[in-house]
Structure 1
Amino acid sequence: MTKKSINSEGPISPDEFKAIKLTVASPEDVLDWSYGEVLNSETINYRTQRPERDGLFDERIFGPIKDFECYCGKYKGIRYKGVKCDKCGVEVVSSKVRRRRMGHIKLATPCSHLWFVRGVSSVMANILGITFSDLEKVLYFGAFVITEVNGKLVKETQAALDREFQRY
């Protein structure tokens, strides 16, 4: 699915659908759908009552607040439709695009969605072949999972632990 299909104008007729398929979006899909990265947790500037730059409501990412008007006011009116302001970086389009546009947030560490962890049977626990309680420990940093083992290093570490155990 591309930005074009997500952001199509107008309602879609039920006759256009033959089936609906829900899948988990890949990181590449999310980046493809995104119009920019949200870098700031701020929403609205308390003095100007306008969206904060790089924030959760940024006009450069999600589109203008006012129809066919950029943030700085350099371009106003429908005659500038589609123009991207060189001063503030906001595209001059209808404010309705804010309902369809998405941004993305890069996380410092990977995380899991609650829907895959909890439920009648934990999908993630079933896929990994571990119990729900073990999965919960891993997710909340109480335990870890070893995915690759270096045999030589294991033997050296085991020998060092045995020597230390015999000293006491």
Structure 2
Amino acid sequence: ERINEELRKKKKKPVTWEPLLLGITKASLNTDSFISAASFQETTRVLTEAAVSGSVDYLKGLKENVIMGRPIPAGTGISRYMNARIEVLGEETEKVEEEEKMQAEPVGHVAQQDIMLHDVSSDVLK
């Protein structure tokens, strides 16, 4: 009110507002990250489609990094994060490298990144 009084004295237009409640849409499902999309709604469908299509989530955004318990890609450390390469250590290393070579392009419209999730549950089915 005080600011509006000052504006009126200066013969300027006062500040006005009105509350606006926006509904939730499926816009959050339209993302490169299936982890981020699954956290919003239609979790089962999103995860099933990602598993069936062999999708790779490169953990590029804030939401998926928070879900995975990783540092978020933001702030002054962003350049270090973007240039970092995480390598799998141990027996899985060769298998992951082989799978990376076999994938010319990740399924879906996933941006190229350095971090890949590897589902070892598929090994149980073999």
Structure 1 length-normalised TM: 0.15
Structure ranking higher in helix proportion: 2
Structure ranking higher in strand proportion: 1
Structure 2 length-normalised TM: 0.18
